[in-house]
Chains A and B, each alone.
Chain A
């Protein structure tokens, strides 16, 4: 309560921090809604999926599997694998909020996404202060925008059958590109050789692993190998 006046990382600051990602969520959410529609889902079913599952790439795959009428357990297991990387992200986020209550932490984890993780890490990379309320602001805004944009996509799906039209699908790649850029910029200045090596290991292993494992599992393994490289190479 003492620092309430000097608090710069409030809930509304978190909402503001989410604004730059809204374009990305809209693009990919609309694409997801269109895909859901083409998988013969009703609008309420798409709404319910975004509300309950809330996982971009997993929802696309889920639509594909529903269309194939895959067995329930194989669908659930696939979605589990696709989203397993959140375990790693939550692990690295939990560490920043360990002084907050368990309920706060669980609320943050529940709505954690690739993008909100990226925004949080970009903010931390700029050495700015972050509170759990800021994180809630960021997460809840992203959650609502996601639900709205998938429903919007479902409505548009009646008119636009192809989600790649207008480049909506590319919004996700572009967002990853931006978040990647924010993340590597400082390390490339501070520890150039080491950072280049970590990135090279991640890139090469992802490429190689995708021959033998699914794309999602390869992402997790390549990430782990990259982190391992970081630990093994001495700081410059």
Chain B
């Protein structure tokens, strides 16, 4: 792989990941969002984190429904319990990583 091929890709990727991130900040300066759209967006944190969580627990299969990842789904159980009890993100991540490491050893 040549350096110029790599750098060109990086510049392109930087641009296409940067524009969607900053464009809304420019747009909201210019226009005010209608209340319905603001309500729509108020559900975004919940739905996008649900979708991201689930997607990371599924294996994509072209042309088929996705399959659930084992043992990953099981490792979520102790992490979820710790989360409900402590409300501490660090402890959730530690429990999850420890749980999956143990499950994979089995």
Chain A interface residues toward B at CB < 8 A:
19-24, 27, 40, 45, 48-49, 52-55, 58, 62, 66, 69, 72-73, 75-77, 79-80, 83-95, 97-98, 102, 105-106, 108-110, 112, 114, 117-119, 121, 125, 164, 166-168, 170-184, 187, 195, 198-199, 202-203, 206-208, 210-211, 214-215, 218-219, 222-223, 226-231
Contacts and interface: CB of A to CB of B under 8 A. Distances in A.
Contacts of A69: 1
A141 B103 CA distance: 32
Task: For chain B, give the interface size range.
Answer: 35 or more
Interface of A is mostly: helix
Contacts of A97: 25
A89 B48 contact: yes
A20 B1 contact: no
Contacts of B23: 87, 90, 109
4 closest A-B pairs by CB: A174-B96, A226-B47, A105-B25, A230-B43
Contact of B93 (A40, A54, A175, A215): A175
Nearest to A125: B45
A170 B75 contact: yes
